[in-house]
Amino acid sequence: MTSALICRGPGNALEVVEVSLGPVGEDEVRVRVAAAGVCHSDLSMINGTVTPAFPLVLGHEAAGVVAEVGSAVRRVGVGDHVVLNWAPACRQCWFCLRGEPWLCATNAGVASRPRGRLADGTPLHAMVGVGALAEEVIVGERAVIALPPELPLTDAALIGCAVLTGFGAVRHTAAVAAADSVAVVGLGGVGLSVLSAARMAGAGPIIAIDSSPAKADLAYALGASEFVVSDATSVRQIRGLTEGRGVDHAFECVGRSVTISLAYKATRRGGNCIVVGMGRSDDLVSLSALEIFHFARTLTASVYGSSDPDVDVPDLVASALSGELDLRTLVSHRISLAEVPVAFERMAAGQGARSLVVL
């Protein structure tokens, strides 16, 4: 048995309960979780944005230590430090063979997978097959990536989602180059990671946009050169900072039609608007046929940062160990499993950066 944070259904209170994950399969790994980030995607599982199966163990962004491996596992061994990959590529489907593992068909649309039982025998599900807001997880061996022991697990936890998504959006989806202008709408863990990646790419100006003025200092610390409060004047302000043109690349990191529209309108003619946030299916974005033609902007999404975690995670780890990548500033609160509901309240209020559950 292991402690885990579960939700029994939409609108239900979150509970820390004892669960049984079952035995480790021949190609599976049991990981003792050391730290797990609280992501907006976790909230999306219980607020109606996504429709997983319940009861559900929340969480997908974490790092820990391998406690047990199946007989066929060769990727890691007991005692290894690992980061979890919530979208492991099969390497065999049409998308993987085209070099697009972030679109792997085996993971497309997966909100939850069966895994274990509650103490009363009720079947349990794990968020995106991980369920990382728990003392332990069992995942397939492709879902773990080994880490060097010198990188603290509390630093590494966010690499598997927020950091990889943000950096991938900048490096892969948008291919931001030195001196490109960048706007980042929404300063949660992913948006802050986009800021860091833009700074490392040599972009400028880097304009951070958020509804909370309290995020300004954090934005500047992670690479922003300008901060704009999100309101009806935001687009005009962004254009004023870019000689009237708008930015080369605008990253929307919220997942709402209103912020997608803001990012799109803040993009220059011929520029790129990249939607990184995951929104609701009934929240529609409206564009006129004329503006699509006239502005010649590219509107695209960045799924998991268009990244290959097996390649990109080691690169990010190297940057963290060299001091180039600041992971600790992304964490504003260190909490327990029982404090996750309060972390969701802070998230909804736009307060702080990432909350990190330390086990």
Sign of CA dihedral 335, 336, 337, 340: negative
pLDDT in tens, 31-42: 999 999 999 999
Measured CA to CA, the distance from residue 309 to residue 30 in angstroms comes to 19
Residues in the chain, pLDDT under 70: none
Q: How would you classify the pairing of strands 28-38 and 354-358?
A: antiparallel
Q: What is the dihedral of CA 201, 279, 54, 47, to 10 degrees?
A: 110
pLDDT in tens, 111-170: 999 999 999 999 999 999 999 999 999 999 999 999 999 999 999 999 999 999 999 999
Query: What's the burial of 349, exposed, middle or buried (CB within 10 Å: 0-12/13-18/19+)?
Result: exposed
How many whole angstroms from its chain centre is CA 58? 14
Q: What is the DSSP letter of 147?
A: E
pLDDT in tens, 295-323: 999 999 999 999 999 999 999 999 999 99
- Identify the structural domains of the chain with CATH numbers, from first to last: 2-160+326-358 (3.90.180.10), 165-303 (3.40.50.720)
- Phi, psi for 154 (deg, rounded to 5): -70, -25
- Token digits for 298? 């590219």
Q: What is the DSSP letter of 83?
A: E
pLDDT of residue 48: 84
The CA-based angle 309-312-316, given to 5 degrees, is 120
Q: What is the dihedral of CA 257, 261, 263, 266, to 10 degrees?
A: -170
Helix (H, G, I), strand (E, B) or coil at 140: strand
Given a contact cutoff of 8 angstroms between Cβ atoms, the answer to whether 228 and 209 are in contact is: yes
This model's pTM is above 0.85? yes
pLDDT of residue 351: 86
- Token digits for 251? 């990253």
Going through the chain in order, the beta strands assigned E by DSSP cover 2-7, 15-20, 28-38, 56-57, 62-69, 81-84, 112-118, 123-127, 136-140, 144-147, 182-185, 206-210, 226-229, 247-252, 267-275, 298-301, 331-335, 354-358
Alpha carbon distances (Å) from 78 to 4, 56, 66, 201, 237: 22, 27, 5, 37, 53
